Amino acid sequence: MPFITRSVASQMKTLPPLPNTNLSGKVYIITGGNSGIGFEVAKHLVERGAAKIILAVRDVKKGESARTDLLQDVKGHRSTMIEAWKVDMSSFETVKQFAQRCE
Q: How far apart are CA 88 and CA 47, in angstroms?
A: 27
The pLDDT value given to residue 95: 94
What class does CATH assign to 22-102? alpha beta
The pLDDT-based confidence of 23 (bands split at 50, 70, 90) is confident
Instruction: Reply yes or no on whether the pLDDT at 78 is more than 90.
Output: no
User: What predicted TM-score, i.e. pTM, was given to this entire model?
Assistant: 0.78
Specify the amino acid at residue 88. Answer: D
Cβ atoms within 10 Å, residue 71 = 14
The pLDDT value given to residue 20: 80
Total length of the chain: 103
- Give me the residue spans of the domains in the chain: 22-102
Compute the average pLDDT of residues 31-46. Answer: 91
The pLDDT value given to residue 76: 62
Residues contacting 27, CB < 8 A, separation 6+: 50, 51, 52, 53, 54
Compute the average pLDDT of residues 71-88. Answer: 84
